């Protein structure tokens, strides 16, 4: 009986691994403007994921960002956000995807340090460059989000946002990245 169970487990594992569609990628960006605060920002968001079906995938997005303020003080941002994406429209190589994530964030800037929990739903536009390489942009300025803050002092506050942002020229609202399907 044990040999039968081991054989079945082996075939199931082989089938799952043979049909698995893992991917890895992310986005990287830089912004510099002496008229704004922060005056320069650098962000890096690697992600890994797994296609459960052709239209549905799950993954993990890890984010790191650093900014230099007008007074030359530095800010740091770290995040850890599991996500799920569903491709609901495809036209040729273009796809429109809905991405939902729930993640934890840490911010350290000269004014305050705080942790936050964020739930967000955003549209994503993707272009399948090849069968293995996909370019994408997440339209953060069209997102629906809820954020719960916990500053070091222990108070809690929250913010809720829905709709179009008033800062469409902010490049952090439109990150461009890619991922590679294995």
Cis before residue 54, ω within 30 degrees of 0?
no
Query: Tell me: domain 21-181, CATH 2.40.50.100, correct?
Result: no
Which pLDDT score is estimated for 167?
45
Domain ranges of the chain: 21-181
Higher pLDDT, 102 or 33: 102
> Is pLDDT at 70 greater than 90 in this prediction?
no
Which pLDDT score is estimated for 110?
75
Higher pLDDT, 82 or 120: 82
């Amino acid at each position: 009986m044990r040999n039968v169970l081991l054989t079945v487990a082996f075939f199931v594992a082989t089938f799952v691994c043979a049909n698995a569609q893992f991917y890895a990628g992310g986005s990287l960006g830089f912004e510099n403007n002496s008229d704004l605060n922060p005056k320069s920002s650098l962000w890096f968001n690697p992600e890994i994921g797994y296609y459960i079906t052709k239209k549905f995938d799950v993954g993990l997005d890890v984010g790191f960002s650093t900014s230099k303020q007008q007074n030359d003080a530095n800010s740091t941002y770290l995040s850890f956000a599991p996500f799920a994406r569903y491709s609901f429209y495809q036209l040729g190589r273009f796809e429109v995807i809905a991405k939902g994530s729930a993640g934890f964030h840490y911010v350290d800037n000269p004014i305050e340090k705080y942790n936050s929990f964020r739930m967000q739903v955003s549209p994503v536009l993707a272009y399948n460059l090849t069968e293995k390489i996909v370019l994408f942009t997440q339209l953060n300025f069209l997102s629906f989000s809820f954020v719960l803050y916990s500053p070091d002092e222990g108070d809690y506050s929250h913010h809720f946002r829905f709709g179009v942002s008033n800062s469409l020229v902010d490049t952090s609202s439109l990150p461009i990245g890619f991922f590679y399907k294995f």
